[in-house]
Chain A
Amino acid sequence: MAATAKQAWPTRKGSTSDKITEVLLYVWAAITLIVVLYPIYFIVIASFSDPAAVGNGQVWLYPKGFTFDGYLELLKHANIWIGYRNTILYTVVGTAIGLAVNLSAAYALSRKDLFGRKALTLFFIFTMFFNGGLIPTFLTIRDFHLYDTFLVMVLPFAVGVFDIIVARTFFQTSIPGDLWEAAQIDGCGNLRYYVGVVLPLSKAVVAVLALWIAVGHWNSYFNALIYLQNKNLYPLQLVLRDILITNQMQSGMGTGEAAQIAMRLANMLRYSVIVVSTIPIMCFYPLVQKYFNQGVMIGAVKS
C-alpha cells in the first residue's frame, strides 16, 4: 500500500513550493476580506459623512465632514420605528412559535417506534417540492380571515421542513436510545421525557434553529408584501424598501432648493437606515456561533 502510494505521490524537493502556496493562500484571503468588508465599511463611514462629499467621491477610507445628521433624520421618521417595533415582535413571537412547532415535530419523527413514521415523514418532505403556489395560498389565507393581521406574519408559515430534518437528524444521532428505555422504566411519559430530558440535551440544535428562524423573520419582506395592507403592521423591511428602493427610483426629479434639501436628507437616510437595521442581526450571529458549528456539523453529516 505504502509503496504504491509512494509512486503516486513523488516526493517534492524541499518545501519552497509549499511556501509559495502558503503565501498565495494568504494573499487570496486578504483580497477576499477586503472585497467582503469594504462595501460594508463604506456604508458605515458614508453614514457619518457629508452627503456632498460622498456624492463627489471624496469618501474612501474615513468619514469626511463628520456629521450625525443621517441618524437625527432617522428619529423624524416614525414609520421606521413602528417598523422596527413590528419586526422585533414578529421575530420574537415567530421564533418562539417556529421553535415549538418544528422541534416537537422533529422529535416525534426521530423516534423509530413511531407508528406510521415513513408516511408522516413523506407528508412533510412532499411540501418541500410541491405547493399550491401564490394565488391559492393567498385565497386560503383570506378564507381563514388572516389577511392583514398580526397572526399571518407568525403562524401560517411557521413549519420549516428543512429545519425539521436537521433537528430530526440531531435527535437521532445525539440522544442515546437507552435513555428513553430507562425513562420509561421510571414511568416517564413521552411529553415529560421530551421537555425534561431531550430538549436540555439539545441546546446546540435549538440555537441553530433559533438563529435560522429569527434571521428569516428579521429579513423577509415577501409575506408582508403579499398579506399586509395596514401600514401600522408593516415590518422594518417593507419600510426599508420604500426608503432604499421605491423612492430611489423616483428621486432625481424636481429641482429648487427644497428639493435639494430633501434629496440630501434622503441620501443620508439611506446610509444610516442600513446601518441601524443590519447591525443588530449581524451581531446576533457571533453570540450563537459556538453552538452553531456543533449543530450544523451534526446536521450536515446526513442531510
Chain B
Amino acid sequence: MRASQPNMSLQRALARIGRNWGLYLLLLPAVTLLICFTYKPMYGVVIAFKDFSPALGISGSPWAGLKYFEKYFHSYQFAVTIKNTLVISLYSFVLFPIPIIFALLVNQMRQNYFKRVFQTVTYMPHFISTVVMVGLMMILLSPGNGLIGHLYGLFGAEAPNVMGSAGLFSSVYVWSDVWQHTGWDSIIYIAALSAVDPSLYEAATVDGASRWQKIRYIDIPMLIPTAITLLILRVGGLLGVGFEKAYLMQNNLNISGSEVISTYVYKIGLLSAQYSFSSAINLFNTIINFVLLILVNWVSRRYSGQSLW
C-alpha cells in the first residue's frame, strides 16, 4: 500500500498535466528559449573560475580558482569602475521622486484637453533611441557651435566642454535621463492616482481641505506602494548602470569618470578577448546586485509589509 502512494500522486500529477496539455504547449517556446539562451549561459559562468580557452571548451579548460576575481580586486580599474558605477546609480536614485512629483502635478490639471496634450508631449522623448539621444546631446552641448555654446556666447562667456568632462559625466548622464524619461516613468503613478475614489476628494472638499492637503493626505499615500516596489527593483540594479548609454557617451577626455562596470566588462571581454577575466567581473557585479535585492526586499517586508515575492 505504502509503496503505491507516491505512484498515485505521480499519476494524479500526470493526469492534471494531461488535461491541460495545451497550456504546456503554449509555454514551450518561451521555456525553450530561456533554457537555451539564459539558463545555459548561467552554466557558462563557471569560466570565471577557469582559465578558459575556446579550443578546450568550457568543461575542458583547467580550473583557476579565484585568480580572476583577485586580479580584478587588485587592479587599478577596480576602484575606478566601482566608484563611477556607484556615483551614477546613487545620483539617479536620489532623483527617484521626480516622476512622482510630476504625476502629482499632472493630476492637478483640470483642463482635460491640455492634460492629454501635455502627457503625450512629455512621453515623446522616451521614444528617442539611445544612439540618437547621445548624438543629440553632442550636438546641443558642443561648446563651440552647439546651443550651449551660443547660450554662453550671449553673455560673452566661454562654454565648458560638458561632454568631455570626467567630473560632469554623471550629471550629464542622469539629467539627460530625467529629460528623456520623466514623462514616461510617471505613467504608472498617474495610473495609480486615477484609481482614487472621487468621493474621497469630495468629502475632503466638504471638510474644507485645500489642494495641498488633498495631495498630502490622499494622493501621496496612494502612491507609496507603487513607489516602494519600484524602489526595491532600483536597489537591485544599483551596480547595473546600463551599458548602452555610458558606452556611447565615453570619449578619451571623460574616461576617468565614465568607465563603469558594464563598459569595462565589454572591453575586457569582447575587445581584448579575456573571457575568464571579463566573466569574473560580470559575475561579481551580478552577485552584488542579487544580494542587495534580497536584502532590501527583506527589509521592506519586515518594516512595510511589502515585498516583491
A residues with CB within 8 A of B? 2, 5-6, 8-12, 17-18, 21-22, 25, 28-29, 32-33, 35-37, 39-40, 42-43, 54-57, 100-102, 104-105, 107-109, 111, 113-116, 120, 123-125, 127, 129-141, 144, 155-159, 164, 189-191, 194, 215, 218-222, 226, 237, 240-241, 243-245, 248-249, 270-271, 274, 277-278, 281-282, 284-286, 289, 293, 296-297, 300-301
Contacts and interface: CB of A to CB of B under 8 A. Distances in A.
Task: Tell me if A's interface is mostly helix, strand, loop or mixed.
Answer: helix
Contact of A105 (B26, B124, B194): B26
Contacts of A137: 37, 41, 44
A194 B121 contact: no
Nearest to A105: B30
Contact of B147 (A42, A114, A138, A278): A42
Contacts of A35: 179
B213 interface: yes
15 contacts: A5-B209, A55-B145, A104-B27, A109-B27, A111-B20, A120-B31, A132-B40, A133-B45, A134-B282, A144-B36, A159-B30, A164-B30, A189-B22, A191-B25, A244-B131
Interface in B163-206: 179, 183, 187-188, 191-192, 194-195, 203-204, 206
A80 to B, nearest CB: 13
A57 B153 contact: yes
A278 B135 CA distance: 12
Interface in B27-54: 27, 29-31, 33-34, 36-45, 47, 54
B41 A132 contact: yes
A130 B285 CA distance: 10
A56 B269 CA distance: 43
A278 B128 contact: yes
Contact of A12 (B13, B195, B210, B251): B210
B129 interface: yes
Contact of B41 (A131, A164, A215): A131
A158 to B, nearest CB: 6
Contact of A42 (B140, B210, B236): B140
Nearest to B236: A129
A29 B33 contact: no
A253 B109 CA distance: 51
Given A2-B207, A105-B27, A158-B33, A134 B120 contact: no
Contacts of A124: 30, 34
B80 to A, nearest CB: 19
B254 to A, nearest CB: 12
